[in-house]
Chains A and B, each alone.
Chain A
Amino acid sequence: MKKLPAPLLTWSFIALAAFVLFSLNFLVVLPALDEIKKTASLSELQLMLRAKEILEHFFEQEVSSVKQAAAGSNFSEISKNMEEAKKRDRNLKYLFVESFAGEKIIESAGTNVDFKSILPRKTRLEEFYKRGYEISGPVSLPDKETGFVISVPLESSSAILRAVVDFENFSEGFIKIGLGGSEITYLLSENGEALFIDKAARLESGLLLKGTKLAGEILARREIRGEEFESEIFFPGKKVLITSAMLSGFPWAVVIEAPSSEILAGRERVLIFAIFLTLAAIILLVLLIINSRNLLNTSKVLEEEKDHVAFIVNTLADGIIEYDSDFRISLMNPRAEEITGVKLKEAKGVDLKSSDLKKLNNLLKLIMFGDNKQRQFILEGVHEKSYLELATLSSTHLGKKSYIKVIHDVSRDLFLARVKSEFISVAAHQLRTPLAALKWTIKVLLEEEIGKLDPKQKEYLEKAYVSNERMIGLVSDLLDASKIEEGRFGYEFEEADFSVLAEDALAYFRDIAKKRSINLEIKFPQEKLEKFVFDPRRIKIVLFNLLDNAINYTLPGGHVTLEYKKEGLFLKVGLTDSGIGIPENQQGRVFTKFFRADNVIRIQTEGSGLGLFIAKNIVRRHGGDLVFSSKTGFGTRFEFRIPLKKEFIPEGEKPLQNFLESM
């Protein structure tokens, strides 16, 4: 095959496309995914740093506010400071001074709460004094708010000033500062408790991280100041990106939680795209694999089909030769080799025209012979002549014009036809000898040459004579039908007078009709019929067969009329009877050999069924036709036309391939 077939080309493209898709995934899409994640993390980080800054500032402010309050020389001064600080800073909910033993010494006004339950007890003094403050919490306030506690040591006495800071106001302000979106910002205490800045989020999420591995990890890093931490984690139902950092100077960490789906929406889109690309590539590959399997299957099927066709061609009873317009042979089946005596390998591709071999020359003659029609060709073989029927077909094979010769060896058919013909001739000859002997004997007896006969004897002998005559007629008809089939009936066309035949017919049938009480009439034409060319002996057979039928199959009292006249370029002969007619369902078979209608067999046992077959063929041989119309119980009309000009008589007599077909 020179050209790549279209499907193969398509599939090559698909393979290429799959390859490109995979490459795109690896070279562009996957790095892009990383890039997107980095960018997203970076913006989260910035957000977190800003929150950190704000929170640190807030804590610093609150601590300094509490420190200010603690800067009194005695308890009354401190108490006054506490009230002032509360007024100044709305975030300071409750302030009080307690001893290291945990006993409350003074407290700000309006504090009606049992603080022991909400305050952390532990205070590591060394650290506490060194740093100058401590922050603990979160704590739940009696009004359900959340807060934390700032503790500072008093300068004047060994006691601690504690301030409960309400986170509420800050939270509200913090949201306004502009961290928004879907992020949740909160503080994570040293024991892993969250202090939400966003109130709404607090209500919704509760202590999100508590007890999780992530909280532990964040806490583990609290010692490393300012270390940023980022990670992704699954919570039931959603995936979040966590960004956190320790607040500097304060023991808490700031945490920003953002749903991955939002932050990494771009990334997901790219990821979906990447997945889509990968899937597409996989689908293409799968299709490619299926298709290549199909191709393999198809080629296998084609191969099998080819073998099958080759098998049929090789076992054909007819010879097949394929050749091109230069008469170069490309194929011969075994039968063709057998008929021509040439092997395919001897002849394949050989220029037959320049070959000296006699058998190759014979082969060339054979393939050069004939046209598209079937014709007979005689092949002079080594041992015997073969009679071949050749048919030439043209076809196109792989873009080149080629011809196929179908060789049908008819030698055997012709042999059989000859044997049949010889058999019939011999059989007829053998039958005719005793029939002639009977005829002659009966005739000699009837003519009373041997001796006188009484009337009864004479009557019987006459009946025997008639029967014998029928037998002779049958043998004669059989021979005629056989010769017609072979195309060797033998016609002798000559200029003759049809009227003489009509008169002969009248003379012959007049007495027969009279005996059967049938009115036989012949209508001679008013205009005299000129002589014309036809076979008078054969046309007489037609006329006599038709008349014989008409008279035999018409009941006594009926009539038979023969008329003839010139009609255009033809002689038209019509024979009408008032006979029993031909049953409608059998009219199609009237002209076939040995046809006898049912109603006729019942009334007339004699008759060969060959008369009309012979008559029809004789008329057709003259270039005319014999037709009929009939109605049971009313009668039948046969009509034939033969041309008056000899130019209309077909040339040559042909064997009947199939008589029905030729009708």
Chain B
Amino acid sequence: MDEKGTGLSKMDILIVEDDKFLRDLISQKLNREGFKVRTAIDGEIGMKEIGERRPALILLDLILPGIDGFEILERLRNDANLSSIPVLVLSNLGQSEDIDRARSLGAEDFMIKANFTPGEIVEKVKQVLNKKYV
């Protein structure tokens, strides 16, 4: 909260998450924290949103209908304009091979949904934004 006044607020965060309830919970939390939040319910919409306007950070689920999280990571990495966008993976997957794969595809960090509280997620978002933009 004390960072509201800094440059982090109003930053554009894209949440790609197919579960409506989780999506709402986390977007409301980020909203309350002062971020500008966009949401996408699948990979395709997510890619469209990214193409329309470049977000400051992406919170990405991995298992998605259609284009999945891994593919989004791959596409971003292969696009010179987008490869610098920090991506935080927020997934139900959590095996070391999934984590390794996501990391090797350029994910900034990997969070297993059930192991993090909304507060901790926000903390992580701020941490990354600070690292990248401040």
* Residues of chain B lying within 8 A (CB to CB) of residue A492: 96
A590 at the interface (CB under 8 A from B): no
Q: Given B32, B63, B96, which contacts A490 in the complex, CB threshold below 8 Å?
A: B96
* Residues of chain B lying within 8 A (CB to CB) of residue A631: none
The residue on B at minimum CB distance from A492 is B96
A476 at the interface (CB under 8 A from B): yes
Interchain CB contact under 8 A, A488 and B97: yes
Expressed in whole angstroms, the Cα–Cα distance for A459 and B32 within the complex equals 25
Interchain CB contact under 8 A, A440 and B117: yes
Q: Give the residues from 23 to 82 in chain B that come closer than 8 angstroms, CB to CB, to chain A.
A: 25-26, 29, 32, 63
Interface 1/0 per residue, B86-122 and A, CB below 8 Å: 0000001111110010000000000011110111000
Expressed in whole angstroms, the Cα–Cα distance for A475 and B114 within the complex equals 10
Given known contacts A443-B118, A449-B32, A472-B115, A437 and B96 CB-to-CB distance under 8 angstroms:
no
The residue on B at minimum CB distance from A428 is B92
Interchain CB contact under 8 A, B22 and A433: yes
Given known contacts A443-B119, A475-B114, A436 and B96 CB-to-CB distance under 8 angstroms:
no
* Residues of chain B lying within 8 A (CB to CB) of residue A444: 25, 29, 118
* Residues of chain A lying within 8 A (CB to CB) of residue B113: 432-433, 436
Expressed in whole angstroms, the Cα–Cα distance for A443 and B123 within the complex equals 14
A202 at the interface (CB under 8 A from B): no
Q: Given B22, B26, B95, which contacts A425 in the complex, CB threshold below 8 Å?
A: B95
Interface 1/0 per residue, A307-348 and B, CB below 8 Å: 000000000000000000000000000000000000000000
A479 at the interface (CB under 8 A from B): yes
Expressed in whole angstroms, the Cα–Cα distance for A447 and B118 within the complex equals 10
Interchain CB contact under 8 A, A479 and B26: no
Expressed in whole angstroms, the Cα–Cα distance for A440 and B19 within the complex equals 13
The residue on A at minimum CB distance from B117 is A443
B133 at the interface (CB under 8 A from A): no
The residue on B at minimum CB distance from A490 is B96
The residue on B at minimum CB distance from A450 is B28
Interchain CB contact under 8 A, A479 and B117: no
Interchain CB contact under 8 A, B118 and A425: no
Interchain CB contact under 8 A, B19 and A437: yes
Interface range on chain B (Cβ under 8 Å from partner): 20 to 34
Residue from the set B93, B97, B118, B119 with the largest chain A CB neighbour count within 10 Å: B118
Interchain CB contact under 8 A, A440 and B25: yes
Interchain CB contact under 8 A, A489 and B114: no
Expressed in whole angstroms, the Cα–Cα distance for A429 and B21 within the complex equals 16
Interchain CB contact under 8 A, B19 and A433: yes
Given known contacts A437-B22, A437-B25, A440-B26, A479 and B118 CB-to-CB distance under 8 angstroms:
no
Expressed in whole angstroms, the Cα–Cα distance for A433 and B32 within the complex equals 23
Q: Give the residues from 457 to 506 in chain A that come closer than 8 angstroms, CB to CB, to chain B.
A: 472, 475-476, 479, 483, 488-492
Separation in Å of the B65 CB from the closest CB of chain A? Answer: 14
Expressed in whole angstroms, the Cα–Cα distance for A447 and B28 within the complex equals 14
The residue on B at minimum CB distance from A444 is B118
The residue on A at minimum CB distance from B62 is A429
* Residues of chain B lying within 8 A (CB to CB) of residue A99: none
Separation in Å of the A129 CB from the closest CB of chain B? Answer: 154
* Residues of chain B lying within 8 A (CB to CB) of residue A439: 114, 117
Expressed in whole angstroms, the Cα–Cα distance for A432 and B93 within the complex equals 9
Interchain CB contact under 8 A, A432 and B119: no
Interchain CB contact under 8 A, B94 and A440: no
State the total of A-B contacts with C-beta under 8 angstroms: 59
Separation in Å of the A70 CB from the closest CB of chain B? Answer: 156
Expressed in whole angstroms, the Cα–Cα distance for A440 and B28 within the complex equals 12
Separation in Å of the B79 CB from the closest CB of chain A? Answer: 28
Separation in Å of the B121 CB from the closest CB of chain A? Answer: 9
Q: Given B21, B96, B117, which contacts A489 in the complex, CB threshold below 8 Å?
A: B96
A43 at the interface (CB under 8 A from B): no
* Residues of chain A lying within 8 A (CB to CB) of residue B112: 432
A441 at the interface (CB under 8 A from B): yes
Interchain CB contact under 8 A, A490 and B22: no
A366 at the interface (CB under 8 A from B): no
A435 at the interface (CB under 8 A from B): yes
Expressed in whole angstroms, the Cα–Cα distance for A492 and B26 within the complex equals 31
The residue on A at minimum CB distance from B20 is A437
Interchain CB contact under 8 A, A440 and B22: yes
Q: Given B63, B92, B95, B118, which contacts A440 in the complex, CB threshold below 8 Å?
A: B118
* Residues of chain A lying within 8 A (CB to CB) of residue B21: 437
Separation in Å of the A663 CB from the closest CB of chain B? Answer: 24
* Residues of chain B lying within 8 A (CB to CB) of residue A429: 63, 92-93
Separation in Å of the B111 CB from the closest CB of chain A? Answer: 10
* Residues of chain B lying within 8 A (CB to CB) of residue A490: 95-97, 100
Separation in Å of the B83 CB from the closest CB of chain A? Answer: 25
Interchain CB contact under 8 A, A433 and B92: yes
Interchain CB contact under 8 A, A447 and B92: no
Given known contacts A436-B114, A447-B119, A476 and B22 CB-to-CB distance under 8 angstroms:
no
Expressed in whole angstroms, the Cα–Cα distance for A443 and B100 within the complex equals 29
Expressed in whole angstroms, the Cα–Cα distance for A44 and B26 within the complex equals 143
Separation in Å of the B17 CB from the closest CB of chain A? Answer: 10
Interchain CB contact under 8 A, A436 and B32: no
Separation in Å of the B115 CB from the closest CB of chain A? Answer: 7
Expressed in whole angstroms, the Cα–Cα distance for A432 and B61 within the complex equals 13
Interchain CB contact under 8 A, A436 and B22: yes
Expressed in whole angstroms, the Cα–Cα distance for A489 and B100 within the complex equals 12
Interchain CB contact under 8 A, B94 and A476: yes
Separation in Å of the B134 CB from the closest CB of chain A? Answer: 26
Interchain CB contact under 8 A, B22 and A479: no
Expressed in whole angstroms, the Cα–Cα distance for A432 and B63 within the complex equals 12
* Residues of chain A lying within 8 A (CB to CB) of residue B100: 490
Expressed in whole angstroms, the Cα–Cα distance for A441 and B22 within the complex equals 9
Q: Give the residues from 69 to 103 in chain A that come closer than 8 angstroms, CB to CB, to chain B.
A: none
Expressed in whole angstroms, the Cα–Cα distance for A472 and B117 within the complex equals 12
Expressed in whole angstroms, the Cα–Cα distance for A429 and B97 within the complex equals 15
Interface 1/0 per residue, A416-455 and B, CB below 8 Å: 0000000001001100110111011101100101000000
Expressed in whole angstroms, the Cα–Cα distance for A435 and B117 within the complex equals 11
Interchain CB contact under 8 A, A479 and B94: yes
Expressed in whole angstroms, the Cα–Cα distance for A435 and B116 within the complex equals 11
Expressed in whole angstroms, the Cα–Cα distance for A433 and B92 within the complex equals 7
Expressed in whole angstroms, the Cα–Cα distance for A425 and B93 within the complex equals 8
Expressed in whole angstroms, the Cα–Cα distance for A475 and B112 within the complex equals 12
Expressed in whole angstroms, the Cα–Cα distance for A432 and B29 within the complex equals 20
Interchain CB contact under 8 A, A479 and B92: no
Expressed in whole angstroms, the Cα–Cα distance for A447 and B122 within the complex equals 14
Separation in Å of the A445 CB from the closest CB of chain B? Answer: 11
For the complex with contacts A432-B114, A449-B32, 13 further pairs of A-B residues with Cβ separation under 8 Å are A433-B113, A436-B22, A436-B92, A437-B19, A437-B22, A439-B114, A440-B25, A440-B118, A443-B119, A447-B119, A472-B114, A488-B97, A492-B96
15 contacts between A and B (CB under 8 A): A428-B92, A432-B113, A433-B92, A435-B114, A436-B92, A436-B114, A437-B25, A443-B118, A444-B29, A449-B29, A476-B94, A483-B95, A488-B97, A490-B97, A490-B100
